[in-house]
Amino acid sequence: MSTFTTRDGTEIYFKDWGTGKPVLFSHGWPLDADMWEYQMEYLSSRGYRTIAFDRRGFGRSDQPWTGYDYDTFADDIAALIEHLDLRDVTLVGFSMGGGDVARYIARHGSERVAKLALLGAVTPLFLKTADHPQGVEKSVFDGIKAGLLQDRAQFIADFSSAFYGIGQGQKVSDGVMTQTLNVALLASLKATVDCVTAFSETDFRPDMARIDVPTLVIHGDADQIVPFEATGKLAAEMIQGATLKVYPGAPHGFAVTHGQQLNEDLLAFIAD
């Protein structure tokens, strides 16, 4: 397997397909790099180098007890970019992975970055606060963590229905639902729980002002997991010159339900 070692000794798995201008994908919770296989195949078949990694604690990467915070996630991405000596790279982050790539630019700068795509991302702030009243109540995230600690497998199985918009007009195969659960259960329980705290409570509003590359924000307006009005809509407003694409009726997991549209939009954005 292809791996690299971070500054704290954590071994991170990654896949590296094709040749050409690089595109680096950061996955959502509670998934791993495999969520990107259709986007990677599509882009690499059209002359791009695609790279996706398993976040620490997930998939085939090590499962350290600590380090599940966005500064560390951003530093892990920096280590991968340096390990592969990527330049002129397009960063693509989905859901909690949108926070990784935004924090990478805020923390490490954009010298190596060409463009940024935030897909159903938790940026700029997921949690409801006094100055962010459209966010999600803390009790929701407390309930998620309690559900994971009681019966993670069943919680993820139930969560996947809302993730893909089942019952909201979307259909996915039994195979997709099985793969989603299998991938999620590869992660450590500790990482899965700690990341709920990280993605719900981290405030990325200061990071938005530091993004200085062309940015594409894509969000479904029927997202039951990461509400558009609290996240994608505001991110597009806060990032200078950002382009916003709203997928009508799309759920959080639009990389599956609207996969071909996403592939074409990413290709057009990267090639522009």
Q: Which of 179, 203, 48 is nearest to 122 (CA)?
A: 203
User: Looking at residues 41-45, what average pLDDT do you find?
Assistant: 98
Q: Check: CB of residue 95 under 8 Å from CB of residue 159.
A: no
User: Tens digit of pLDDT for each residue in 227-258?
Assistant: 999 999 999 999 999 999 999 999 999 999 99
- Give catalytic status of residue 223 as yes or no: yes
User: Looking at residues 214-228, what average pLDDT do you find?
Assistant: 97
Cα 166 to its chain centre, rounded Å, is 21
Q: Give the whole-angstrom CA distance, residue 27 versus residue 31.
A: 6
Mean pLDDT, the chain, integer: 97
Q: Which residue in the list 75, 100, 194, 252 is annotated as catalytic? A: 252
Q: Does the pLDDT of residue 116 top 90, yes or no?
A: yes
Q: Residue 167: its pLDDT value, please?
A: 87
Domains of the chain in sequence order: 3-271 (3.40.50.1820)
Q: Which residue in the list 95, 100, 160, 219 is annotated as catalytic? A: 95
User: Tens digit of pLDDT for each residue in 162-214?
Assistant: 999 998 989 999 999 999 999 999 999 999 999 999 999 999 999 999 999 99
Q: Does the pLDDT of residue 1 top 80, yes or no?
A: no
- Give catalytic status of residue 83 as yes or no: no
Cα distances (Å, whole numbers) of residue 94 to 25, 181, 226 = 8, 18, 11
Contacts of 102 (CB under 8 A, 6+ apart): 93, 116, 118, 121, 123, 204, 207, 208, 211
Q: Does the pLDDT of residue 272 top 90, yes or no?
A: no
Q: Does the pLDDT of residue 11 top 90, yes or no?
A: yes
| Element housing 243 (H / E) | strand 243-247
Q: Does the pLDDT of residue 98 top 90, yes or no?
A: yes
DSSP letter, residue 73: H
Q: Which residue in the list 75, 100, 223, 265 is annotated as catalytic? A: 223
- Give catalytic status of residue 158 as yes or no: no
Over the Cα atoms of the chain, what is R_g? 17
Give the pair of three-digit tokens for residue 215.
Answer: 């940015």
Q: What is the pTM of this model?
A: 0.98
Q: Which of 20, 3, 115, 133 is nearest to 59 (CA)?
A: 3
Contacts of 8 (CB under 8 A, 6+ apart): 64, 67, 72
Residue 242 phi, psi (nearest 5)? -65, 150
User: Looking at residues 151-159, what average pLDDT do you find?
Assistant: 97
